[in-house]
Copies of this chain bind each other. A is one copy, B any other.
Amino acid sequence: MARPRKFVERDVISSASEVFVVNGLAATTLDDLVRATGLGKQSLYNAFGGKRELFLRALSEDRDEAARAVSEALQHGDASPLERIRGHVLRRAIEFSRSDSRVSLATRALVESTGEQDQLSTVTKAGIEELAGIYTHCLEDARRNGDLPPDANLPSLAMYFVAVIRGMELLGRAGVGRAALTAVALDSLRVLGAEADADPVQA
């Protein structure tokens, strides 16, 4: 029938994503995207509809990938559910303390959104709730395992960890070092039970 596309959407979104992660939405130029993706302005426009729409696509991809990654981190392994959460939070802290750590698309979306009805916010909120749901499942496993009191409010705890991780991201971006950030992570984990001295991450 018609001329086939020269590109794969996934690859284009992935390239665009890298640019957005570095520059954000407002500071990224259509030209940046053209250079990064290799396709022409018009092709970009045909396929996605513009800068903002492309960002939205990248954001959705990012949300899916983040959910997948966390889901895997919290399910696999021979450690107990509680230990998996502990390890995960600590790993994020270490990640965020890297001096070249970038701000996630999700956070950028929140900051650059114009309000709560902005798709930038709604998509990100959905992502946050998805993550919280994943944490909740793991916490339920931990409770079943007897590592958490029966009356613990799991969804709330889950949302709490989302907040802590978001906060650590920002602190890392500010240049707060690894030692301080892991200490923050360990403090945050104390709500799960007292003994938080051992370091479950082989750093």
By a CB distance below 8 angstroms, the chain B residues around A180 are 156, 159
Alpha-carbon separation in the docked complex, A113 to B24 (Å): 10
Q: Does A103 contact B (CB under 8 A)?
A: yes
Task: Report A18-36 residues with CB < 8 Å from chain B CB.
Answer: 24, 26-27
Residues of B within 8 Å of A191, CB to CB, are: 187-188, 190-191
List A133-185 residues whose CB lies under 8 Å from chain B.
Answer: 153, 156-157, 159-160, 162-168, 170-171, 173-176, 180, 183-184
In the complex, which residues of chain B have a beta carbon less than 8 angstroms from the beta carbon of A163? 164, 167-168, 170-171, 184, 188
A173 touches B128 (CB 8 A): no
Q: How far is the CB of A201 from chain B (nearest CB, A)?
A: 17
When chains A and B are docked, how far (Å) is the Cα of A61 from the Cα of B122?
A: 32
- Quick check: is A53 within 8 A (CB to CB) of the other chain? no
Partner of A174, one of B121, B156, B174, B186: B121
In the complex, which residue of chain B has the Cβ closest to the Cβ of A182? B156
Does A125 sit within 8 A of B, measured CB to CB?
Answer: yes
Q: Once the chains are docked, how many angstroms separate the CA of A30 from the CA of B100? A: 30
Q: Which of A111, A128, A157, A162 has the most CB of B within 10 A?
A: A111
Asked whether A187 and B157 contact (CB < 8 A) given A116-B99, A167-B166, the answer is yes
| Bound-complex Cα distance A180 to B157 (A) | 10
* Highest count of chain B CB atoms <10 Å: which of A128, A163, A175: A163
Binding site for B on A (CB under 8 A): 24, 26-27, 99, 103, 107-108, 110-113, 116, 121-122, 124-125, 128, 153, 156-157, 159-160, 162-168, 170-171, 173-176, 180, 183-184, 186-188, 190-191
